Amino acid sequence: MILDDPSVHELIRQRWSPRAFDGLRAVDRGEVMTLLEAARWAPSCYNTQPWRYIVALRENKAAFDRILACLVDVNQVWAKEAAVLMISLARKLHDHNGKPNRWAWHDVGAANAQLTLQATAMGLVVHQMAGYDPEAVRRLYSLHDLFDPVTILALGYPGSPEQLDGPLRDRELAPRQRKSMEKIAFNGEWGKPL
């Protein structure tokens, strides 16, 4: 599953979003704090740092199951084996002026990316999910309107694709794919390949 382009940094080449987690191997609180520290140093508009995280280690069954219950069924099937589940949230207003921060979700994405790369450097894997019920998050956590749930992250040590069934195993074993450079980068004007 490793990207072959040697000009791209090794952490980026190794990063991927597995569904197979080693359900027997825990991630300790110190490791989680290191990941959150990496997220904490992400760039943000006006240095607002709009990210917040609700964190549940699997050994805290009630907290873990509460986040797990917010996921759609197909994600619950495999995410239950992760060592940690996190909900990333975005604060919708700027701190300095109270105006809407339309870049908050972007900034949370940057924090999640830094957390994910730190996890990769530590031998951990992260799978970020949009397959969850945001209203369930709002209800279960009495979430203030000032915050939007962004993603739920499953993290832990990698497991074996063989532990997954059918289509999930097939997706796990499929080659990583990305759009061609011509479709994502343009030379000075829209549609002209770089």
In a domain, 104, yes or no: yes
Gyration radius from the chain CA atoms: 18
Instruction: Quote the longest CA-to-CA distance of the chain.
Output: 53
Taking the alpha carbons of 129, 132, 135, 139 in that order, is the dihedral positive or negative? negative
Cβ atoms of 21 and 83 closer than 8 Å: yes
How many domains does the chain fold into? 1
* pLDDT tens, the chain, 194 aa long: 456 678 999 999 899 999 999 999 999 999 999 999 999 999 999 999 999 999 999 999 999 999 999 999 999 999 999 999 999 999 999 999 999 999 999 999 999 999 999 999 999 999 999 999 999 999 999 999 999 999 999 999 999 999 999 999 999 999 888 899 999 999 999 999 99
| pLDDT tens by residue, 30-39 | 999 999 999 9
Q: Please check whether residue 7 lies inside any domain of the structure.
A: no
CATH number for the domain that contains residue 94: 3.40.109.10
Please choose, from the candidates 81, 47, 44, 40, the residue with its C-alpha nearest in 3D space to the C-alpha of residue 64: 81
Contact 161, 20 (CB under 8 A): yes
Q: Which of 118, 109, 102, 113 is nearest to 46 (CA)?
A: 102
- Domain region containing 153: 26-174
pTM over 0.85: yes
Q: For position 176, what pLDDT does the model report?
A: 84
8 found inside a domain = no
What is the total residue count of the chain? 194
Whether residue 52 is contained in a domain is answered as yes
- Residues 110 and 42 sit within 8 Å (Cβ to Cβ): yes
Confidence (pLDDT) at 132? 98
